[in-house]
Amino acid sequence: MSKPAPLAEQPQDDLRHDWTRDEILALFALPFNDLLHRAHETHRANFDPNAVQVSTLLSIKTGGCPEDCKYCSQSVHHNTDLEPEALLKIQEVLDAARAAKEAGASRFCMGAAWRNPRGRNFERVLDMVREVRELGLETCATLGMLDQDQAAQLKEAGLDYYNHNLDTSPEFYGTIIGTRSFQDRLDTLEHVRNAGIHVCSGGILGMGETRADRASFLRALVNEPRHPESVPINQLVRVPGTPLGDVAELDPFEFVRTVAIARILMPRSHVRLSAGRSEMSDEMQALCFFAGANSIFYGEKLLTTGNPDTERDLALFDRLGIHPV
């Protein structure tokens, strides 16, 4: 299985990093068919339009997170009846990784509910990365904030991708999270890039943000020094007991529009349909694939929330003529 090329071998000099919010809002204002046509042309020029990269995400440490993210079932600030669990043993992680590979996943992602990893727990994660990579899988981790030394250690262990979402726009961010700043997130992404690890960064739609917020969120991503190599677009999973448990649903067409615009802005990034797929119809997912989404998470569970199972995904791929990579 091919590994991601070193960042130095992936020049982005021909890609824009100077988008304005008004330019992005103008894309949102396009007729739906015109927007999808433009996005699909962009997608087809850069990727096999019928290939979808498949990842599996495992929660290696669940619950007890000190952050106050209003969407998250794992926060200690919310009463979601989620029982905290200790960091998994390495063998448990390897068993899950082998099962993911057998199911067709090419990347294995490990997520831990921490503000930032520390001490022996971080050392164990480094061991997990080394051993999962030995299985021939790409590796990804999401562990909270990192400093530059931690990013360098993860790179040395063989980490291919690090996920750290911006979540939403700089303007709306403080409405959703109070325990870390938007700049904290940008700093972690800078440390990851500096270490030579591929960046996985996106956000969550449907938290009560406006279209202008969605444009500003995308602008923050695309105007980073490098476009994220992977861009997860999540639909809010409304978890009872969280402050966003009863927020109004986002218009599905607005979600598809956002996927399409992410494809136009970041033409060579993988755009991933992430959380919330269990609430999406097959037709909505098909529109997202046409609009440029070309990555998903396999499996029944996405950290602590539901996800379509592998058989349903494979059946949909078969109906659409899509093949997993």
Active site residues: 65, 69, 72, 109, 140, 200, 272
In 3D space, the residue among 162, 250, 251, 145 whose CA is nearest the CA of residue 199 turns out to be 162
Total residues found in the chain within this entry: 325
Q: Which pair of structure tokens corresponds to residue 100?
A: 């993911």
Q: How far is CA 199 from the centre of its chain?
A: 10
Q: How far is CA 284 from CA 151, 248, 273, 317, in A?
A: 36, 18, 11, 13
User: Sign of torsion, CA 170 172 174 179?
Assistant: negative
DSSP state of 240: T
In 3D space, the residue among 157, 176, 155 whose CA is nearest the CA of residue 165 turns out to be 176
Q: How many CB atoms lie within 10 A of CB 22?
A: 10
* Contacts for 146 with CB less than 8 Å, ≥ 6 apart: 116, 117, 154, 162, 164, 188, 191, 192
